A and B are shown apart, each in its own frame.
Chain A
Amino acid sequence: MSQWVKEDMGASLALDCDVELMLRVKDGDGASFALLLDKYRVSVTHFLYRMVQDQPVAEELAQEVFLRVYKSRETYEPAAKFTTWLYRIATHLALNWLRDKKNERGQERLDEVAEDGPVRELPDRAPSVEQRMVHRVKVDEVRRAVAALPAKQRAAVLMHKYDEMEYSQIAKILSCSESAVKSLLFRAYETLRVRLAHMA
């Protein structure tokens, strides 16, 4: 049985072209690293941004993620999907940063309304000033609701919602069981349902 599982896992990893690229990086192929960077730069930075809610910090952490990937290329072993490994590094850095920040300042900023909010101009039909303000207020509410979640719940929600990850992959990234991830998500979404109920 375990042999079958190993073979099955080996087969699925063989299909993971990211693992293939990373193995080439291990052999010194810089172009493969560039491909992985182009493929995941945006999603990793966006994940980190939603975790720490500070764009310069998110970019700094994202750089650290890819720097660590590059530095550990020689010891890389394809034990899991490449994205599992990548997001494990990203989550680890984000959780550490949040812990350090919490130690530094407490959690007072979590409920602040950020001045440099991530609100983009609404496309096309030139929304009115009022519509833009309403949109901004709603986005700020979402940001604050997510920021108020415990860090691990936040990470689970972000990977589930924005990166569309399976429960099993989130479990591997957070180093916990699949049922623990489901519990994390249920608690997190329950909090969000209460906080965002008025947005219906």
Chain B
Amino acid sequence: MDCPIKTQENREWLLDYSAGRLNRQHAVMVERHMEACPDCAEFVAEQRVVWEALGRWEPQEISPDFNRRLYQRIDQAKPASWLQLLWRPLVPVAAACLLLVAGVALHTPAAPPRVETVEPEQVERTLDDLQMLRELALTPPEEARTSQPM
């Protein structure tokens, strides 16, 4: 067997041998070669350290609701039913109608404020009354008394 490191041939055998995945026949060849090749022996020793170190790295547990969340996403991604498809184009129309009604309600002019109207005759009567009161106030009390019938 030629040196896998020097010739670059079958060098994956060294990786596989370090990982314990090389078939028996090739493993024997690698072992025999390593007896005479310190470079390959060193490579295998160092690779085993890496392999063992990587083996220490255990991943975290997966969330228990993983499947539930996935099926929820699948349901959301499913195509809509015929009823939904029928209803879908009506939604914007309904929304537009709703907006229209709301707009009309908001823009209806409010009842004008109530303004008291005063008739001209009423004004005239009030002025007459005021005139009469003024005259009565100017009249002396004696005169007023004598002017009264006995």
Contact = CB atoms under 8 A, between A and B. Distances in A.
Contact of B57 (A50, A62, A160, A193): A50
Chain A interface, DSSP helix/strand/loop, else mixed = helix
Given A37-B67, A167-B12, A189 B56 contact: no
B49 A199 contact: yes
Interface size class of A (residues with CB under 8 A): 35 or more
A50 B52 CA distance: 16
Given A167-B12, A196-B49, A59 B57 contact: no
Indicate the size class of the contact surface on chain B: 20 to 34
A37 B73 CA distance: 14
Given A70-B74, A167-B12, A182-B12, A143 B66 contact: no
Main secondary structure of the interface of B (DSSP, over half): helix
Contacts of A87: none
Contacts of A62: 62, 66
Contacts, number: 89
Contacts of B45: 200
A164 interface: yes
B73 A67 contact: yes
Given A63-B66, A118-B59, A142 B54 contact: yes
B70 A63 contact: yes
A160 B12 CA distance: 12
Nearest to B65: A59
A71 interface: yes
A161 B54 contact: yes
Interface stretch (A10-18, A41-49, A92-100, A103-111): A41-49
Interface of A: 37, 41-42, 45-46, 49-50, 55, 59, 62-63, 66-67, 70-71, 118-120, 135, 138-139, 141-143, 145-146, 157, 160-162, 164, 167, 182, 185-186, 189, 192-193, 196-197, 199-200
Interface of B: 11-12, 15, 19, 21, 45-47, 49-54, 56-60, 62-63, 66-67, 69-70, 73-74, 77
